[in-house]
Amino acid sequence: MRRGFWQKKVVVEKRPKANLQIKAPQVRVIDDNGEQLGVLSTTEAIRLAHQKGMDLIEVNPQADPPIAKILDYGKYMYRKEKGNRGNKNKKAAIQEVKTVRIGLKTGDHDLQVKSQLADKFLTKGHKVRLEILLRGREKAFKDLAKQKLQSFLGYITAEHVIEENVKFTPGGFSAIVRPGK
């Protein structure tokens, strides 16, 4: 049977084996305190886990013999899922680049206000892309636009390093600055 383009492919998440799902005859057991109890038969390890009111979870099935821990299965899965969620958010926050746009006709006071916005982004640790947009007949004044963007860099008071110098883009000029000394 063919799958249509509207049907999503189901990805089954592989969960660790617990208790009677473990088929190995012997396992290396680690208790809930992190102490190694040595190599035990699987049935004896399961019995020991149930005496403590916990589960036997197979942590490393590739080892010889497989490694199993005595833990609460629900708490183990919660911590594992929570840890994965935290890593995704950290990676996303590092990559952020904020943009501050100005125009060729933007006045000095407006440039000061926009520079305060750029300062705020830099103090929070974000990279900032500075853009000056040229529309219509403004494209004839490229040299003036480049000077305006370079003078705007002078308005920024927060410590910064110019990562990309002022360069021409199809819409105007841009530069990227990052926080630092």
What residue segments make up the domains of the chain, in order of their start?
Answer: 19-90, 96-179
Burial class of residue 6 (count of CB atoms within 10 Å of its CB; 0-12, 13-18, 19+): exposed
Domain 96-179 in CATH 3.30.70.580: no
The CATH number of domain 19-90 is 3.10.20.80: yes
pLDDT at residue 66, rounded to an integer? 87
pTM of the model: 0.49
pLDDT of residue 6: 64
DSSP state of 138: G
Our CA dihedral for 101, 103, 104, 107, rounded to 10 degrees, sits at -100
pLDDT at residue number 22: 84
pLDDT for the residue numbered 94: 58
Give the model's pLDDT for residue 95. 59
Q: Can you list the residues of the chain whose pLDDT is less than 70?
A: 1-13, 86-95
